Amino acid sequence: MGFQNKVALMNGRAARLAAVSAFALLAACGGQGETERGEMGQGEMVQGAAGEAVSEAEASNPLLAPWTAPFGAPPFDDIDSGHFTPAFEAAMRVHRDEIAVIAANPHEPTFDNTIAALERSGGALARVQRTFSAYASSATNDDIRAIQREMAPRLAAHRSAIFLNEALFDRIDAVYRNLETLNLAAEQARVVERTHTAFVRAGAELDGDGRARLAAIIEELAGLYTAFSQNVQKDAESFMLVLETDADTAGLPDVALGAAAQAAAERGLAGKHVVTLARSSFEPFMTFSERRDLREKLFRAWTNRGDNGNAFDNKESIRRILDLRLERARLLGYDNFAQYRTANTMAATPQNARDLLDEVWAGALAKAEAEAEEIRAAMAADGAEHPLEPWDWWRYAEKSRAARYDFNEDEVKAYLSLDNVLKAQFAVANRLFGVTFEERFDIPVYHHDVRVWEMKDAGGAHIGLFYGDYFARQGKRSGAWMSALRVQHRLDGEVTPLIMNNCNYNKPAPGEPALITLREAEVVFHEFGHALHGLMSDVTYPSIAGTSVDYDFVEFPAQIYEHWMRAPQVIEEFALHHETGEPMPAALLEKVRAAANAKSGFDNVEFIASAFVDLALHRIEDRRVIAALDINQFEDDILDAAGKPDAIAMRHRSPHFLHAFAGELYAGGYYTYMWAGVLDNDGFAAFEEAGDIFDPALAAKLRDYVYAAGNSRPAMDAYIGFRGRAPETGPLLRNRGLDRGEKPES
């Protein structure tokens, strides 16, 4: 069955099985993620349900005291690690009091005294946890890691006590059962449905023994997720490739050398060069280094993060996580965890997700083999007589592309300074949605690399703050992500969002511009698409605000925004040479466009390989299989059966697969990037068909049905409201240069 027919059939089901609220996500994640429930008003004192303030000693804690920075921003400059544990404890106590009052309310359950009251609860805890998350992900140290290990299971137990509170659920269930007679507004009805679903999926309908066991599972998982994440970070930070001679640095362009020199200086090795396991350090070395032995060494360190048989090895944690997830899925009535995960998404079933991956896989394999033939030709021309191995792919793919299209990545980077890419992302938002961004220098930040902008609407009114943290450093986890320090809502007056983007690019030497690749520029736009989803949120209730949408819809607003970075109009205006200020020449731009899919076979194969393994691991239904699991052999078996080329590695091997094992947002759901890929390519095609990529009518629909809507309607309804029909796979296959092929056996 084709993707369009499949999503059309699922449309009715989507109304019943749309994404859980972020409050439910917390229960599902067992410690990973951040609460989206009620937020404190700007400058408000932390109080309990009956209005009692925290103690005088607690009130002096900057995390609990009124926040007086502009727009109620966190007082990062007043916070130290010693403030967090007492703040967590006070905020959890206040939250418990709030829940107790709701659950014990003697009056008949109503929307206002149960659902809206629940929406208002937990603001103090949300504030503390979001602030802590900024440190834990972007500025961690041994103290923060210790607090994270201590608090993760305690927070999980706290959330379980709420979701498994029988009296509370009875009230929620009563409102839900009377929904049709309550005459609620559409958004209110949506919140009731999402809240009820969240509690059911968190085990509220289990009996006493089942509830107790589920709570124990969630608490243990929270600790495992934290340990997994910290192990990956510590294993990565324990490795560095020191380049000491000219031979070691042979082939590296000046930009890569500068970044490696900066990394060495930061590690007390001034005068040398260091390559780390940050992607922005890893990929340039793999692409340009002439030292095949060092490329192999770096590649093996990259792929073996979390799999080195040392104190940071994650294989046993994977087995335990999978076992606990399967047990939980069974408790909740599912055969496996993948069923549990996809039941609340657009895909609806693991097989639907696998079918989409298979549809793209066939074309990706054919394209990857064509790329491999070109790479082997480049190797032969270079005098290389060895077989093509994974540590050869980047280097010779770049040589092949340079020869075929007559340009190299370094030539393009000269026109892509990070500052200009940031200007471009803001300019696109202005042309699409009428919003503007003004940099602020009076907002506290947790690290001097962080920049802050105020977002305003077309009339100049404040909408929210946008934080950008773009450079790699020790104490910051790898990758790129969006997070919220506060979500938008207007439950008791307008609360504006505080949204953050993190990336990990090489920090340049003082006075030098940060030059990034075209793909890195697209990542900047991707994360800003997520940020706009949070910043432009326009709902009343915090549980459905911003990015609190279906797991396989949440990437759509980010991925569609990438298309504008690739647009010739944007490149022509903002891709300016960092020395001369001249725009990218038309001839080079044409080469970039021609080479856009030069490595799409590789990109799609490495991604889908990880998605295959993720799905397969979470479709295991026998705990004995998990207990005996050899993760390396399992990966090989799944990917050999799919026909993955040996010269292309998984994008994320399981022992460092943060998406799958550092939490649950993408566990059994890494496929969602591909699912959203169908949506974003089909969605941008609407602008192309209109003949104007800034078409005002389409931009208004994209704003109203997607960026501003949060989870106020089912995801498929949101997409159809914007596009006018269900999505089709054709634009994705066409844009990635992939032919439709025969579907392999699942």
> Which residues are annotated as catalytic?
527
Bridge partners, 388 (sequence order): none
The HSE-up count of residue 291 (CA atoms within 13 Å, CB side) is: 19
User: CA triplet 633, 339, 34: central angle to 5 degrees?
Assistant: 95
Any idea which residue has 């020449």 for tokens?
A: 585
CA separation (Å) from 721 to 485, 612, 688? 29, 31, 18
d(CA 600, CA 618): 27
Q: Which of 739, 706, 13, 741 is nearest to 352 (CA)?
A: 13
First to last CA, the chain: 14
Give the three-state DSSP class for 255.
helix
Give the three-state DSSP class for 250.
coil
d(CA 414, CA 133): 35
d(CA 746, CA 608): 13
Q: Which of 13, 14, 10, 34 is nearest to 23 (CA)?
A: 34
CB 373 within 8 A of CB 360: no
Any idea which residue has 């092949």 for tokens?
A: 400
Q: Which amino acid, residue 264?
A: A
Strands 436-440 and 451-456: antiparallel
Q: Which of 324, 129, 314, 320 is nearest to 227 (CA)?
A: 314
Q: Which of 659, 629, 641 is nearest to 746 (CA)?
A: 641
Three-state DSSP string of 100-136 = HHHHCCCCCCCHHHHHHHHHHCCHHHHHHHHHHHHHH
> What six digits make up the tokens of 198?
């969240």
d(CA 265, CA 359): 47
289 — phi, psi (to 5°)? Answer: -65, 135
Q: Which of 738, 745, 644, 714 is nearest to 197 (CA)?
A: 714
> What six digits make up the tokens of 48?
């309990």
Residues 6+ apart with CB under 8 A from 553: 19, 345, 346, 676, 679, 715, 718, 719
The HSE-up count of residue 693 (CA atoms within 13 Å, CB side) is: 16
Q: How many residues does the chain have?
A: 746
d(CA 669, CA 676): 11
